[in-house]
Amino acid sequence: MKIQNSKFKIQNYNLKFKIFAFCVFILRFAFCILHLSEAKAQELSLSIWPPLLEVTIQPGKSITQVYKLKNTGETDLALTSKIVPFKPEGEKGDVNLEFGIPKESREAGIWNLEFSSWFSFQNANLALGEKFLLPAGQEQEVVLKIKIPQRAPDGDYYFSLLFETLPGVFLPAGSGGQIEAKIGSNILLTVSQTGEPLKQAAVEEFSLHNSLFMIHDSIIIDSFSQPKFVVRLKNTGQVFFKPLGSITTSGWFNQRWVLDLLPENILTNSIRQIQCQQAAPPQILPSPCELRTKFLLGKYTAKLEFGTDEASGKYQAQIVFWALPLKLAAGVLVILALLLFIASKISFKK
């Protein structure tokens, strides 16, 4: 009996030891995760202002723009700069950097020499493409000059001014480890002889995302669902533009809702899904294009109107939809069917 008690105590001790070791392992693992998360957060330690530059310029002219690059982290950074062309990708405003540039040219820092001559830094102690040190908490002002050749053809040119760290570069003692990071400011450059380039658009799609089905040209939705509009606009002109306009929805009982379009840039040869905007002082926030309603009934007409960089009704599209309580009706029919079924069973038993 004593031997069994001793074995039980040993097994109990081993179990407690294993539980204790497991808890220590969990704590160490959590510490490592938090440490890695903190280190990862330090990677995003650069900020740049302005994040976007929009310029319309005539051939033979030049402009300058002051950028402010700040190291908001706790580690000194060795950086370099370059100008990279980009093109729009997808319909959500994403861009594809370094498109069409051979890998060898990217690695060597060489790309289209014709365009690279358009850009230079005006800083006395810093040139475009040179390496420089940006200490932790410090800010670097960069003056970018854009000079357009006299024979440059009219059209849009899209670039990004990139700053990226150089992990292999030796830093002063005590500055910490080099962090890999990259940040950029996009440049939308329009070259125009007249200063009034042609802007054209087309409505690629104006529809309801949550429609149930269609009868002829009328869309059917459920009365309890909030109409969600899909707005896809296409740039068919020579330069980028911002759509300024709204979606106006009206109903049988003089209801009226207005959704203002978010003026997002639509680049040439691209389609973009446009959001709406809501006022949230002191700024305007993007918002889905949907009506904030609890119940709709009857026929409704939604009209899309916008202009390119001006509030006008130059471009229009319209949809008609019916809001019917289909889900409620389906629920009532199911309940009636069950009641009839139960009633028939009761009658059959009698």
- In this prediction, residues 333-341 reach a mean pLDDT of 77
Check residue 114 and give its pLDDT: 65
Q: How many CB atoms lie within 10 A of CB 46?
A: 21
CA atoms of 256 and 303, how far apart (whole Å): 11
| Whether pLDDT at 170 is above 60 | no
Correct CATH for 45-191 of 3.40.50.300, 1.20.1630.10, 2.60.40.10, 3.40.190.10 = 2.60.40.10
Averaged pLDDT for residues 38-56: 75
| Side chain identity, residue 140 | Q
Neighbours of 85 (CB within 10 A): 20
Residue 197 or residue 317, greater confidence: 317
Amino acid letter, residue 246: S
- Is residue 19 pLDDT above 80, yes or no? no
Q: In this structure, are residues 190 and 58 in contact, taking their beta carbons and an 8 Å threshold?
A: no
pLDDT tens track for 107-143: 444 445 567 889 999 999 999 999 999 998 999 999 9
Across 70-74, 169-173, 196-200, 218-222, least confident range: 169-173
Q: pLDDT confidence of 159, banded at 50, 70, 90?
A: very high
Q: HSE on the CB side for 275, CA within 13 Å?
A: 12
Sort 226 into a burial class: Cβ within 10 Å, 0-12 / 13-18 / 19+: middle
pLDDT in the model for residue 25: 45
- The whole-number pLDDT of residue 244 equals 96
What integer is the mean pLDDT of 224-231?
Answer: 94
The per-residue pLDDT for 258 is 95
Is pLDDT above 50 for 34? Answer: no
Q: Which of 291-295, 303-307, 344-348 has the highest mean pLDDT?
A: 303-307
20, pLDDT greater than 50:
no
β 182-191/52-57 pair status: parallel
Q: Which fold is adopted by the domain 201-330? A: Immunoglobulin-like (2.60.40)
| Contact assessment for residue 232 and residue 209, using Cβ atoms and an 8 Å cutoff | no
DSSP-based three-state secondary structure for 115: helix
CATH 2.60.40.10 residue ranges of the chain are 45-191, 201-330
The phi, psi pair for 172, rounded to 5°, reads -55, 150
Mean pLDDT, the chain, rounded, equals 81
Q: What pLDDT does residue 36 have?
A: 38
- Percent above pLDDT 90 for the chain: 52
**Quick check: 199 and 241 in contact, CB under 8 A?**
yes
Taking residues 69-89, what's their average pLDDT? 90
